[in-house]
């Protein structure tokens, strides 16, 4: 039996999680597995009503669970950043989910905007670092009236070679944000990428950075990548700059097998990855701590304008559920869900709006369950 925390969240979150849960329950029953769900109300509604975001007591409870299944957080009534930082990022950081694994896979029957590319051309993994880089939240925004001490920080951070007038007028503003890369933090995510390549018999790991400009942090990233790569002589490697890789994702996606990226570049390139695999409706991801509690979610957000309309595609969330079961060691169960989803997509009889169909969120979820029963 698995204890799983359920956070449906905001916008379309509850609708897609409902379908994901339905599919997981059905697949579990078929495979003699039991799931005990503990549902949490965290998100915009709860925050606006109670002022509470994510209490320590809940974090402590989740620490003892097997996994977390998350819909989405984000709501136009709440200033951007609050729910994201205080719920989603807090969970990632607190549970030290240092891997963000995002498979980019074009399923049969799914339209890709890339002309002439087929399912066999788009099938790779992005391993995104998930706890460091520009996500550490170090920075400041200030003007000449207040927080003069930030000036000291900036003076220290700024290259002396660049002359900057630090005599701020009262109303003038300066802001800065620091990216931080640590050797152990980089080692563990790059190791994970190589182990993944080994496990899946993939012979190329591509490293993403911008070491030509941000040479301190991504210089360390590069050095660490080289060190780890030496431990895997059978696997080929390459360095790619983040700007260039966006071009190659579009031009030659068949080149890639495992891509490992620092947090922010990983964030950006996986939205592009989601598009080439057919859109956010099918893109799933896992926030993974291989020795702790991991959290699985669709890559898309809460899409408030579609809330309660039952028009969005639940497949991304369903596939995130499959990734969750796979991480718990239930490989057959996970495969069953993936196969059932693939059948629904390739058959195309039941199609959600994003693929030009008119099936509802519920109909897609139910069709996956029907296909599961026939496996
Ligand atoms: C993602 C999202 C988050 C991120 C936001 C909502 C904080 O874009 O999961 O990719 O930047 O990591
Ligand atoms: Mn993102």
Q: With a 6 A CB cut-off, is 83 part of the ligand 1 pocket?
A: no
- Phi-psi domain of 12 (left: phi exceeds 0; alpha: psi -120 through 50; beta: other): alpha
Mean pLDDT of 54-78: 97
59-63 average pLDDT score: 97
Q: How confident is the model at residue 167 (pLDDT cuts 50, 70, 90)?
A: low
CATH class held by domain 112-126+183-277: alpha beta
Taking the C-alpha atoms of residue 241 and residue 304, their distance in angstroms, rounded to an integer, is 34
For ligand 1, say whether the CB of 319 is within 6 Å of any of its atoms: no
Query: Which numbered atom of ligand 1 lies nearest the CA of 92?
Result: 12
- Does 123 score more than 70 pLDDT? yes
Distance 268 CA to ligand 1 centre (A): 9
Asked if residue 267 has its Cβ within 6 Å of ligand 1, the reply is yes
Residue having the nearest C-alpha atom to atom 5 of ligand 1: 84
Q: How many angstroms separate the alpha carbon of residue 267 from the centre of ligand 1?
A: 7
Judge contact between 120 and 88, C-beta under 8 A.
no
In tens, the pLDDT along 311-335 reads 999 999 999 999 999 999 999 999 9
Strand residue runs (E) in the chain: 2-9, 35-39, 67-72, 99-105, 123-129, 133-143, 173-180, 204-209, 236-241, 258-261, 284-288, 294-298
Report the predicted TM-score, pTM, of the whole model to 2 decimal places.
0.94
Find the mean pLDDT for residues 159-181. Answer: 71
Provide mean pLDDT across the span 323-350. 97
Residue 139's pLDDT band (cuts 50, 70, 90): confident
| Phi, psi angle pair for 139, to nearest 5° | 170, -175
Distance 11 CA to ligand 1 centre (A): 16
172 pLDDT band, cuts 50/70/90, is confident
User: What DSSP line would sit under 18-59, residue for residue?
Assistant: HHHHHHHHHHHHHTT--EEEEE--TTHHHHHHHS-S--HHHH
Q: Is the pLDDT of residue 241 over 80?
A: yes
The residue to mutate among 53, 89, 128, 274, having the most atoms of ligand 1 within 8 angstroms of its beta carbon, is: 89
If we measure between CA atoms, which residue out of 284, 229, 238 comes closest to residue 257? 238
Q: What is the Å distance from ligand 1's center to 33 Cα?
A: 31
Taking residues 202-229, report their average pLDDT.
97
Is the minimum distance from the CB of 86 to ligand 1 under 6 angstroms? no
Closest atom of ligand 1 to 84 CA is: 7
What CATH number does the domain located at 1-105+284-375 have? 3.40.718.10
Run of H or E residues at 190:
helix 183-199
Where exactly does CATH 3.40.718.10 map onto the chain?
1-105+284-375
What is the whole-number distance in angstroms between the Cα of residue 375 and the centre of ligand 2?
34
Q: What is the pLDDT of residue 54?
A: 98
Residues of the chain with CATH 3.40.50: 112-126+183-277
pLDDT, mean of residues 87-113 = 97
């Amino acid at each position: 039996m698995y204890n799983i925390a359920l956070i449906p969240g905001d916008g379309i979150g509850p609708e897609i999680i409902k379908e994901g849960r339905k599919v997981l329950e059905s697949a579990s029953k078929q495979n003699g597995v039991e799931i005990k769900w503990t549902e949490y109300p965290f998100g915009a509604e709860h925050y606006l009503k109670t002022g509470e975001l994510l209490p320590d007591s809940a974090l402590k409870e989740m620490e003892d669970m097997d996994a977390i299944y998350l819909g989405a957080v984000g709501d136009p009534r709440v200033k951007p950043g609050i729910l994201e930082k205080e719920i989603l990022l807090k969970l990632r950081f607190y549970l030290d989910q240092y891997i963000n694994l995002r498979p980019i896979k074009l399923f049969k029957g799914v339209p890709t905007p890339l002309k002439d590319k087929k399912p066999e051309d788009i099938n790779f993994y992005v391993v995104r670092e998930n706890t460091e880089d520009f996500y550490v939240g170090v920075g400041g925004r200030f003007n000449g009236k207040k927080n003069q001490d930030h000036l000291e920080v900036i003076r220290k951070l700024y290259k002396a070679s660049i002359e900057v007038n630090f005599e701020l007028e009262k109303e003038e503003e300066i802001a800065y944000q620091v990216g931080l890369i640590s050797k152990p933090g980089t080692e563990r995510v790059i190791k994970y990428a190589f182990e993944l390549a080994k496990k899946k018999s993939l012979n190329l790991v591509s490293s993403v950075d911008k070491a030509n400009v941000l040479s301190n942090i991504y210089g360390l990233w590069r050095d660490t990548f080289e060190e780890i790569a030496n431990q895997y002589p059978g696997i080929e490697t390459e360095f790619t700059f983040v700007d260039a890789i966006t071009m190659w994702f579009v031009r030659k996606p068949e080149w890639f097998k495992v891509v490992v990226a620092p947090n922010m570049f990983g964030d950006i390139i996986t939205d592009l990855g989601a598009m080439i695999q057919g859109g956010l409706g099918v893109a799933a991801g896992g926030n993974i701590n291989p020795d702790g509690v991991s959290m699985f979610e669709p890559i898309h957000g809460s899409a408030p304008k579609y809330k309660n309309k039952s028009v969005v595609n639940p497949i991304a969330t369903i596939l995130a559920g499959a990734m969750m079961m796979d991480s718990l060691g239930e490989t057959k169960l996970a495969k069953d869900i993936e196969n059932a989803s693939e059948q629904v997509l390739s058959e195309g009889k039941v199609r959600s709006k994003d693929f030009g169909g008119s099936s509802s969120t519920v109909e897609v979820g139910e069709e996956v369950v029907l296909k599961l029963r026939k496996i």
